[in-house]
Amino acid sequence: MDKATFAMGCFWGPEVTFGELEGVVETSVGYMGGELDNPTYKDVCSGTTNHAEVVQVIFDATVISYEQLLQVFWTSHDPTQLNRQGPDFGSQYRSAIFCHSRQQQDAAEQSRVELEQSNHFPSPIVTVIQKTPTYWPGEDYHQKYIAKRNGLA
């Protein structure tokens, strides 16, 4: 199994989006990229920790490729909005790809270049692509949050 981690606004929706893909074995939500060890949701929402809300995806690369996951990432949020998605704003809602290997970083950078050259978006892409920092799992009540609210989990 391989691992991919994406930040694209509030983590509840992306967890559902990636979790429905064939080849995705597991998803979890949490926090990455900040200065505080073991942050809580309250810490992250304060805007002082520099963490992003992320979805971590465990996938079977023989069924779905990392490049296919990148396509879902790019088409499931607005990568031109700095520190916001929809009604949510703050650095915790930034667009970011956290790479677990040099191959992932190369693929992510190449996909961003191709998207920029396509002129699909009228504004520049602000997505940050970086090496994966420590992943801090979100609280239990955030895991599969939408499924729980809809009585599916």
Go through the domains of the chain in sequence order and give each one's CATH number.
Answer: 2-149 (3.30.1060.10)
**Is 45 tagged catalytic?**
no
Residue 149 has pLDDT above 90, yes or no: no
Mean residue pLDDT across the chain: 95
pLDDT value at residue 83: 94
pLDDT value at residue 41: 96
For 68, the enclosing helix (H) or strand (E) is: helix 66-75
Query: Residue 92 gets which letter from DSSP?
Result: G
Phi, psi of 148 (to 5 degrees): -65, -45
**Per-residue pLDDT band at 86 (split at 50, 70, 90):** confident
Measure the CA–CA gap between 126 and 123, rounded to whole angstroms: 9
Find the catalytic residue in 4, 7, 8, 10.
10
Residue 148 has pLDDT above 90, yes or no: no
Nearest alpha carbon to residue 111 among 71, 64, 143:
71
